[in-house]
Amino acid sequence: MPEIKTLLLFAATAVAEIVGCYLPWLWLRHGHGAWLLLPAGASLAVFVWLLTLHPDASGRVYAAYGGVYVAVALLWLWLVDGVQPTRWDLLGACVALAGMCIIAFAPRGA
């Protein structure tokens, strides 16, 4: 069960980071209002806070988080951008998630 909690925490972290980057992208690329920078900043602050909730060393957390970020970004590509991921995208996400599981859930010495 701690594995599920870790995956969900990483997924929430990824969503916070993507939203924090997507809103300024909307402003800069599509001319939406600069007011989007306020929720973007808040979202990035939540992203940083969520990363601190992991009990492991920061470098290991960042490395493992990267695998989940890849998968969530592809889900974002599909749900928000309306672009269906290719089988190569999905294979890459599986490889990234496998790496994340190795990093995050490997047995550690006491």
Does residue 109 form part of some domain?
Answer: no
pLDDT at 110: 61
- Report, in angstroms and rounded to the nearest whole number, the Rg of the chain calculated over CA atoms: 15
pLDDT tens string 38-62: 999 999 999 999 999 987 888 888 8
Q: Considering its fold, how many domains does the chain have in total? A: 1
Q: Is the pTM of this model over 0.95?
A: no
On whether the CB atoms of residues 24 and 36 are closer than 8 A, the answer is yes
**Helix, strand, coil in percent for the chain, rounding step 5:** 80, 0, 20
In terms of Cβ atoms closer than 10 Å to its own Cβ (0-12, 13-18, 19+), residue 66 is middle
| Count of positions (residues) in the chain | 110
User: What percent of the chain shows pLDDT beyond 70?
Assistant: 98
Domain with 16, as residue range(s), is 2-104
110 within a domain of the structure (yes/no): no
